[in-house]
Structures are given as structure tokens and as C-alpha cells.
Structure 1
Amino acid sequence: MAPQVRRLGFIILSFGTSCTDDPLVSTPASDGESASGGPTSFDPPPTASATVAPTTTEPGSTSEESTSFDGTTTTPDQPVCGDDIAEGAEECDFGKANADDAGCTIECKLATCGDSLVWEGVEQCDMGAGNSDEYGGCRPDTCHWAARCGDGVVDPAHELCDRGEQNGSGITDDEFAPCDLHCGYYGRLLFITAQAYDGDLGGVSGADLKCHAAASKAGLPHSNAYRAWISDDFQSPVSRFEQWDLAVPLILSGGLVVAADLLDLVDNGPHIGIARTELGDVLVQQPVWTHTSAFGESFSIADHCETWISASDLSSARQGLNALAVEDGPDWESWRDERWWTSYLNQRCNKLAHLYCIDDGFVLEQER
């Protein structure tokens, strides 16, 4: 046998003196390294138990997701508002009973006074940060209404009247006018002017202007819409008043009802004396320039202080008597039945008398 020859890390076997050009196939060393000490040419195939799924987590970050062997990811169970189980950050959970007007809101928060949600049957109101004990507010400790229009109790600082649920209905069960939705009296104000004038009023339009001035000075609403109850030889309330047929009570300052409306006033006369000024002061047995019949028409073609531009003692005009001190007895019956309030006697135009002023710009509740 010829001697062995080591060449380039391979063993060449010779048989006799013959040789071959075919390279020999190398075999791995038993210790996992090649004969030369380098890595072997064949790595063992991976097994299933050694398989590692890739991760998308950035270096240094954390994630509650976990990866299963099939490559899918899962997350831990989270609280679900509405599943009837209060857990995690949920303050409550009534399931399908969660509601913003219930004890547990749709966000699984306990209903509280101040959360701007009204808990039905427990709270009357909730204005959130706007809750207040002031008039018209919502009390911050109980979420019940503070004093307000509609509670049936008159607050003199803010209200003229308060009939509770009857506000705005037009209903009244006494001699006072109904209450409107703003706790004022629902009616057209009628007053006798505090000031008295001679017969030179500046005409019918001048009388209207005096009503405007009186109403404005008293701070009455739509003061420039008041008209004087006065006539000359061709103008009269029935022809001048824009709201002649308006079915709204005529009232005095303080809410007392004079008549159901203007038609009631001319058909049946006033229920009470017209004894309040624009300022609310009481006047009785005072003369009033009118020259107007019980039906709201001109009393005659004369007797109107020459169309209300004369203060001469040679001219005269028809006057009314506004009220009696005692609304009872024969005189009271005559005052009502004979319409003394608008047609009582003739008086010289140099004398002083008052005016009746009526709101002719009333705004109906539904139009506000």
C-alpha cells in the first residue's frame, strides 16, 4: 500500500499507483467542526419546538399582546360598559338600564348633581357648573329648582304673579288677570294718567303722545303703542284702535281685571273703577277727557274743545268719571249701568282733567 498523502485538509486514498481526477466527498467531523477547525458545511435542520415567531414590538417597548403558535395575537379582556358588570374604571354598570337620566349613565358613571344630566325621579334640574341658589337657578346641593317662575309662589323681586302650571294658560280663578309664562300679568294695561291737562291737548294725536310719555316714564313695555280713549268729531277709539277685537283682558296696574276685552268694556262696562295711574297710585272720583260714548264712538259733532286744541272757557267737552270711592250701592250701580266712566258730564275746556290710556301694541304669548 502506498503511503497516505495529506493535501489541503482532505485525505486522498491511493490504491496502488493509480489516481483519479474526481474529487472526494468530504464528510463532517464528529465534533461539529471540520478537520480544519472551521464551521461545518451542513447545519442541522430546525425542529418545530425551536420555531420563534417574529414580533412587531419595537426595541425597548412593552406590549400586553401575546403571540400564539399559529401566529395570531390576543389582548387581555377589557371592561365593557353595558355588560352588567362593574369593573376596572367603571363606577357602575346596570347593563341595558344604563341611561343619562338614570342612576348609571351610558358611560358607566354614577349619576351625580352637577354632571349636567338630570336623573329622572331624583333630580329636577342640573345645569352642571351653572348650578346656583339664585332665582331661576338649580340648587347645587340637591339639583332641585331654586325660587323661579312657575313654582306657584310669587317672588316680589322678580314676579308680579305666579299660578304655577296655569301660567300661560289664560286661566284665572279670581279678580286678578291670568299669569303669562314670564310671571307677569297677561293683559292690556289701562290706566288713568297721574297728570291732569286742560282741553288743549294738541289734538287726538297730542293726547296719544301724552299717553306715550306717561307710559315711558313709568317704564311700561311698548310705551309708544298706547292710545288715549278720546274722540273728536271724526276719530274715535272704535276707529283708531288697531287691536279693537283682540281677546285679551284689560287690566290695571296690580293685575285687577277691568274687562275681559274691549268688546266687553263697551258691551257691559268696566267691572271695577279705573282707579290706578301708570305708576300704580290710586285715584278716585277724577274727571277724564273723553268725548266718547259708551260704545267707543264720538259723543257728538261738538263738545270736544274744538278738536282738542282749545283751553277756552267758552268751549266744552264731554268728560267721564274714573271711579267711585265705594264700589257698592245706588251710585255704583249708576256708574256702571249709565257708563259714567266715559260719559258723565260736559266741562269747560279751561278746566283740568286726566286721560285714559290703553295698551294698543300688546304682543300675544305665542308671538313672543
Structure 2
Amino acid sequence: MPASDGQSASGGPTSFDPPAASDAVEPTTTEAGSTSEASTSATGATAPDQPVCGDDVAEGLEECDLGKANADNGACTLECKLATCGDGLVWEGVEQCDMGGGNSDEYGGCRPDTCHWAARCGDGILDADHELCDRGELNGTGITEDEFAPCDLACGFFGRPFFITSQMFTGALGGVSGADLKCRTAAAKAGLPNATSYRAWISDDFQSPATRFEQWDLAVPLILVGGVVVADDLLDLVDNGPHTGIARTETGQAVAQEFVWTNTSAFGEIFNVTDHCDGWLSASPAQEARQGLNSVAVEQGPDWDSWRDERWWTSSITQECDRLAHLYCIDDGFVLEQER
């Protein structure tokens, strides 16, 4: 049976009664008689409107509101906060960077007072404590405008280091492989890159730089420690000779008019199949081998012309194997940036 008025189906009173007309909540109206948009509580009290970020009206806790122009790279952020240095957002056209709490005046940092870059790689200003070179936007392009090597993206020189060893040796080098090892030891002690990949510019009776170097055709400049370009690449070295003397050791020390064990022709090939200090194992005065002259005192005049034209750098004089001479060493493990 349906429940009667005031009765539940079980015969008891109903669980609630409809409110009396006098208890109903009437909507508030404006002076024009329209219903207010203010929210109404259960007790009939009204709550004020909350500000809306993005409505083009700055009110309440909003610091700003540019409506649709709000942006995290603009003057007013998407949270209706004024852009400030240190908020971790980059204000386009005003700030260069913003690392928030990580802003710092240190090298590579973002200055906390201006949100402009501190000294860094790529600013075109050499910072000797952190950089070998810095050509700004030219970094990593392979372009150079002077006698120094191009800069890579890490502000190091872009090129294959080429040095004369600071140490001198007799012709008993331990073979060609022993000469390579001496180059690698020198490079490692000097902290040069790819230290385990250096090769000596030297030949015996069956191998030479032209056959031993794995990167013979690599189009990367040969550079002295310090960045001066010796040749555009190995092919330029044998075709045209060095641009300058090979006059820097692995540590950057300048040396001139020093002899170097090579037994290597101007073309990177074997100079003599018999005179090579018995395969670079002998220091006997009865044995001999060809040497190069690393540089001349002045890079102009007749001596300089002969040094370049006659390729004295690699083939200058034949000496007994008990004499002391240096070695030429070239990085043969260079890795192009796009291959790293």
C-alpha cells in the first residue's frame, strides 16, 4: 500500500518533510531585478566572486593579468605573477636566462641580479681559466679567421694535435711501435686528448706514416699545442709542407732547430729501406737513419724557403744512431663532434 501523508511505508513518520514555503531560499537580485551570480550558502549567505587569472582584470592576489597575453615568457605569467629574475622563467627580450635558485655569477651561470649570462663558452670572449678558444657563433663551424685552429662547441681547439717530443732518444726506440709508445706516454703526461691513439711520424723498411696512419684522409687541421695550424690536414702537409715550424712540445714549450728521427720522405713514405737504425732497435754509431729539422730560427728568407720547399722538416740529414733526437707525434684517434 502507498504510504499515507506523514507516514512511511512501514507505518512510521516519513524521513523528511518538504520545506515550508517560508523556509525556501530566495535568490538575491540586483537593482535591475536580475539574479546575482554570487554563490549562495546553505544558510543563505553569499560568497564573493574569486578572481580568474586570464580575464584581463588584476584583482585579489593576482599581481597582474593581461588576459590572453599572459605567458611564461612574458611580463605576466600564466599564474598572473609578475615576471622576475629568479622565477625560473625566461622573460623574452628582457632576460637571457633564468635558472631560478641556481642562478650564479660563476662561469657558465646566469647572473642572479640581471638574468643575463655570466662568462661562458660561446660569448666570444676568451676565458683563459676555462677555455682554449672562443669564437662565439663560429664555435663548432670549422671556420677560422686567423692562423689559429677553429673552436669546437666546448671552446677547445678543433684539430689534431701535432707536437715534437720534449724528450730526446737514440735510434734504439723499441721499433716503430716503441716510437708510438713514446708519443703516447708524452701525450698522456701532458693531458692531451686521445693520448692512447698517437702515432710517431716514422718509417722502417716496410711501414710508414702513409701506411700506418688510420686517419690519413681525415679533413681535420693539424695543430700545435696552443692552437696554431701546421697544415689543413695530412694531405696538405705532404702536398704543400707545413705552414709553420713544428716548434711546440707536448707541453707547449717552444723549441727550434732540433733534429727528429723520421726515415720518412716528404710524401709520408719510407725514405731508405736500409738506414733505419736496424728497425729502430739499435743505438750503434755504425748504424744511421734520416732525420728531419723541426724549424728554422726565422720564418722568412732563404733558409725558410728551403726548409719548406725541400721539406727539411721530415728529411734533412742522415745521422748515426747513437745521436739523440726528438720524435714527431700526431693524434690519430681524433673523433668528429657529430660522431661523439
Give the alignment's TM-score, normalised by structure 1.
0.81
Inter-partner Cα distance in structure 1 for 2:166 and 2:184: 13
Inter-partner Cα distance in structure 2 for 1:309 and 1:173: 44
Alignment partner of 1:307: what SS?
helix
The 8 Å contact of residues 65 and 76 in structure 1, kept in 2 or not, is answered as no
Report the Cα offset of residue 67 of structure 1: 5.3
CA deviations 1:226-250 (Å, max 9, x no partner) are 1000011111111111111111100
CA deviations 1:251-277 (Å, max 9, x no partner) are 001110000000100000000000000
Which residues in structure 2 correspond to 1:22-101 (within 5 Å)?
Answer: 49-52=21-24, 65-66=40-41, 76-101=48-73
| Change in 2 beyond 3 A, CA 1:90/1:218 | same
Asked if residue 277 in structure 1 is aligned to residue 249 in structure 2, the reply is: yes
| Change in 2 beyond 3 A, CA 1:47/1:237 | closer
Contiguous gaps of at least 5 residues in structure 1: 1-45, 54-63
Residue equivalent to 1:120: 92
Alignment partner of 1:96: what SS?
helix
Alignment partner of 1:189: what SS?
strand
Pick from 135, 152, 176 the counterpart of residue 107 of structure 2: 135
Inter-partner Cα distance in structure 2 for 1:128 and 1:187: 37
Pick from 316, 323, 333 the counterpart of residue 288 of structure 2: 316
The 8 Å contact of residues 289 and 319 in structure 1, kept in 2 or not, is answered as yes
CA deviations 1:102-129 (Å, max 9, x no partner) are 0111111111101111100000011111
- 1:310 partner amino acid: S
Alignment partner of 1:318: what SS?
strand
Report the Cα offset of residue 47 of structure 1: 9.7
Inter-partner Cα distance in structure 1 for 2:175 and 2:126: 42
- 2:96 partner amino acid: Q
Residue equivalent to 2:159: 187
Alignment partner of 1:227: what SS?
strand
Residue equivalent to 1:339: 311
Inter-partner Cα distance in structure 2 for 1:225 and 1:295: 22
CA deviations 1:20-79 (Å, max 9, x no partner) are xxxxxxxxxxxxxxxxxxxxxxxxxx99642446xxxxxxxxxx643599xxx9864221
Residue equivalent to 1:170: 142
Identity of aligned residues (%): 74
Residue equivalent to 2:218: 246
Report the Cα offset of residue 364 of structure 1: 0.9
Which residues in structure 2 correspond to 1:251-262 (within 5 Å)?
Answer: 251-262=223-234
Residue equivalent to 1:290: 262
Residue equivalent to 2:337: 365
Alignment partner of 2:210: what SS?
helix
Asked if residue 268 in structure 1 is aligned to residue 243 in structure 2, the reply is: no
Inter-partner Cα distance in structure 2 for 1:303 and 1:65: 107
CA deviations 1:339-360 (Å, max 9, x no partner) are 0000111110000000000001
Pick from 198, 214, 239 the counterpart of residue 170 of structure 2: 198
Inter-partner Cα distance in structure 2 for 1:288 and 1:91: 74
Residue equivalent to 1:353: 325
- 1:164 partner amino acid: G
Inter-partner Cα distance in structure 2 for 1:74 and 1:349: 105
Alignment partner of 1:328: what SS?
coil
Residue equivalent to 1:215: 187
- 1:98 partner amino acid: N
Residue equivalent to 1:16: none
- 1:210 partner amino acid: K
- 2:323 partner amino acid: K
| Change in 2 beyond 3 A, CA 1:78/1:312 | same
Inter-partner Cα distance in structure 2 for 1:365 and 1:83: 49
Give the alignment's TM-score, normalised by structure 2.
0.88
Inter-partner Cα distance in structure 2 for 1:272 and 1:51: 103
- 1:121 partner amino acid: G
The 8 Å contact of residues 153 and 163 in structure 1, kept in 2 or not, is answered as yes
Q: CA RMSD in A?
A: 1.9
Inter-partner Cα distance in structure 1 for 2:192 and 2:161: 9
The 8 Å contact of residues 67 and 74 in structure 1, kept in 2 or not, is answered as no
Alignment partner of 2:89: what SS?
coil
Inter-partner Cα distance in structure 1 for 2:115 and 2:195: 39
Aligned residues: 311
Inter-partner Cα distance in structure 2 for 1:51 and 1:136: 70
Asked if residue 102 in structure 1 is aligned to residue 77 in structure 2, the reply is: no
